[in-house]
Amino acid sequence: MTNPLYPAFFRLDRLDMLVVGAGEVGEEKLSFILKSSPNARVTIVAPWMGADLRELLDAYERQTKEADGAGARVAVSGEQFAGVWHTPAGGRITWYQREFRPADVKEVDLVVAATNFKEVNYAVWEAAKAERRLTNVADTPHLCDFYLGSIVTRGPLKVAISTNGQSPTFAKRFRQWLEAELPEDATTELIENLHLFRDRLTGNFQTKVRELNTLTNGLLSSARAGRTCPPGGCLLAAASEPNDIAPAPRSPEKGEGGQENLN
């Protein structure tokens, strides 16, 4: 069976997320959300908060020199919250210490049901679907509109991994392999240099694609003929080899058209 999921990357600084539950499940969900998107705007609704989650949020608050929640919305306007935390990247996490109410989903874009109680999670799902909100329900794949998969982040590079729920262990091990193969500093430098090269290209879409393909030919090879590489070595060495360096940008050929949209 092939994986029919369509991957998308959310701008969580522009969307509002509701997480129902603040125990072990909620801590697991939020730790991955904030690790990948530390600028996220999250509202938590839960009658109590576990020590691990509170420690995680307190650590983010300590890292933030000054709290700035400007522009962040909350799930229920005018209601007193039990706690608010900020991240250095501009994220804001607000906690309402009470039981979930169906109206909580009205002012958010994404909903995560993260409790250990199936009846509570189902009630969250029902309320979210009535308002046409995208929803993730912990440990209940058939109720999920989206999954929170394994993620690798290296500077501007972000890779999301999904096995369509069939083998989270493989996704975890593949993430670890990618993290070893893509060193943080070197990968960031490589992508930034490619970005500079792209910005200096002239010509139309086809010309730019040809130049970039020439530059990156063999860039992702895991092995090169006649030698072996340490983790990440082949990827990074390929970028500096003479055969992989593109010639100077050319003028567009006569008759070629198109518009640049290279992502």
Tell me what pLDDT residue 195 has.
87
Q: Which residue intervals of the chain bear CATH 3.40.50.720? A: 16-148
What is the spatial distance between Cα 73 and Cα 110, in angstroms, rounded to a whole number? 13
What is the spatial distance between Cα 137 and Cα 49, in angstroms, rounded to a whole number? 19
Average pLDDT for residues 179-193, to the nearest whole number? Answer: 88
Q: Any idea what DSSP says for residue 105?
A: G
pLDDT band of 66, cuts 50, 70, 90:
low
pLDDT band of 202, cuts 50, 70, 90:
confident
Tell me what pLDDT residue 125 has.
98
Tell me what pLDDT residue 218 has.
63
Residue 157, H or E segment:
strand 157-161
Return the C-alpha torsion angle 144, 145, 150, 151, nearest 10. -150
Return the C-alpha torsion angle 112, 113, 114, 119, nearest 10. 180
Range from 105-109, 166-170, 200-204, 227-231 carrying the lowest mean pLDDT: 227-231
Q: For the chain, give the mean pLDDT.
A: 82
| pLDDT, tens digit (0-9, with 9 covering 90-100), for 215-258 | 787 665 543 444 455 554 544 555 444 443 333 333 333 333 33
Residue 13, H or E segment:
none
Tell me what pLDDT residue 245 has.
37
| pLDDT, tens digit (0-9, with 9 covering 90-100), for 130-166 | 999 999 999 998 999 999 888 999 999 999 999 887 8
Residue 73 above 90 pLDDT? Answer: no
Placement of tokens 């983010």 in the chain: 60
| pLDDT, tens digit (0-9, with 9 covering 90-100), for 77-101 | 568 889 999 999 999 999 999 999 9
The architecture (CATH level 2) of 16-148 comes to: 3-Layer(aba) Sandwich (3.40)
- Predicted structure pTM score: 0.75
For residues 86 and 92, is the Cβ–Cβ distance under 8 A?
Answer: yes
Alpha helices per DSSP H over the chain: 24-36, 51-63, 118-130, 168-181, 184-200, 205-215, 233-238
What percent of the chain is predicted at pLDDT more than 90?
Answer: 54
Helix, strand, coil shares of the chain as percentages rounded to 5? Answer: 35, 15, 50
For residues 152 and 181, is the Cβ–Cβ distance under 8 A?
Answer: no
For residues 15 and 109, is the Cβ–Cβ distance under 8 A?
Answer: yes
What is the spatial distance between Cα 21 and Cα 5, in angstroms, rounded to a whole number? 26
Residue 150, H or E segment:
strand 150-154
SS3 84: strand
What is the spatial distance between Cα 46 and Cα 37, in angstroms, rounded to a whole number? 22
Tokens of 185: 């500093």
Tell me what pLDDT residue 29 has.
96
